[in-house]
Amino acid sequence: MDANGTQVAAAAEGRKNLVGIGRDELAAEMRALGAPSFRARQLWHWIYHRGATDFAAMTSLSKEFRARLAEAYELRRPAVSRALRSGDGTRKWLLRFADAQEVETVHIPEEDRGTLCVSSQVGCTLTCKFCHTGTQRLVRNLDAAEIVGQVMIARDALGEWPSPQDDRQLTNIVMMGMGEPLYNYDNVAKALRIVMDHEGLSISKRKITLSTSGVVPMIRRCGAELGVNLAVSLHAVTDALRDVLVPLNKKYPIAELLQACRDYPGSSNARRITFEYVMLKGVNDSPAEARELVRLLRGIPAKVNLIPFNPWPGAPYECSEPAAIKAFADIVFAAGYSSPVRTPRGQDIMAACGQLKSDSVKLRRSAMLRPAAATA
């Protein structure tokens, strides 16, 4: 285990993986190898702009130097254990790491964007009652290579190297997959800096959203250091109910969480904080709760994503009725807050919000799942 609780798998044959290391670290590796500094810039281009998986493909480097690199380093991506494609175009990959642990990553195509939902932990340290991932114990944090690797695997499958491309299908990233990203902040931050680098994967911070269940002490640091969009899993308007739905609330109650949101660096009417609110039948979906939500958000540049509950086998809740969701949305919208109802995507492959779980192969219903080739 490292200082962040990450179980770091041994590099194959003692070679260091260059995927997931930042510019300064890459430059240090080249100095240690006795190579000139410009080699680091060349490698960065090949790894993160062109998506090279083999040093032999790096034709701007001499054959001798490529051989030296191959002796000392590797370019390791996660392995694709299974790839699924939904009838609505959503794609899900079950990815396996060197220690045989697995996570799920989801790509959601839309008319004007393509969003990749990225995981930050194997399992989850939280136990949110409506979330399938929360029923799986935390195994470990992902390291930066494993987080960046999810983006690279998606680019592989979508055929989007080199990057960026004008018509690319992967335009946005949401740290909303398995795990609580602010409980693995150092690795998430390292990975996102690589993702945002304009000479590499080149995804703007304005196209990246980090979702938290409310790790209050880390929220300001995230805004100050990364400047990405913030999404908050709220789901209740009273501490009594949120203590049940999101047990982290017992440590950081609603008032503290909302104050952290008010103080979030860079938030404005142009860059609003997103509050996620899962709609649970008879639990949190009344008009009175909609009005209280409006009161709580007063003074925060915000929008509210209403999420119809996505069930899984044995789930303890039901989704709110469409009429209840509409009434709730109308109240929030009338108060001046955008309140879109999220259209469930990928339900037939258990890729919808709250359904991810790395051992889902045991839970899937074969009639609902349609395997696809990893690069299909």
Report how far residue 255's alpha carbon sits from residue 274's, in angstroms, rounded to the nearest whole number. 17
Q: Is 256 a catalytic residue?
A: no
Report how far residue 358's alpha carbon sits from residue 105's, in angstroms, rounded to the nearest whole number. 10
Report how far residue 343's alpha carbon sits from residue 352's, in angstroms, rounded to the nearest whole number. 9
What is the SS3 assignment for 303? strand
Out of 104, 160, 276, 289, pick the active-site residue. Answer: 104
CA of 63: how far to CAs of 29, 44, 47, 72, 338, in Å? 19, 18, 17, 15, 56
Cα 134 to chain centroid, rounded: 15
Q: Is 104 a catalytic residue?
A: yes
How many residues make up the chain in this entry? 376
Q: Which of 176, 193, 202, 170 is nearest to 120 (CA)?
A: 176
What is the SS3 assignment for 175? strand
Residue ranges in the chain assigned as alpha helix (H): 23-32, 38-44, 63-72, 144-158, 185-196, 216-225, 239-245, 254-262, 287-296, 322-334
- CB distance 309 to 322 below 8 Å: no
Residue with tokens 């409006």: 294
Report how far residue 309's alpha carbon sits from residue 344's, in angstroms, rounded to the nearest whole number. 9
Catalytic residues: 104, 353
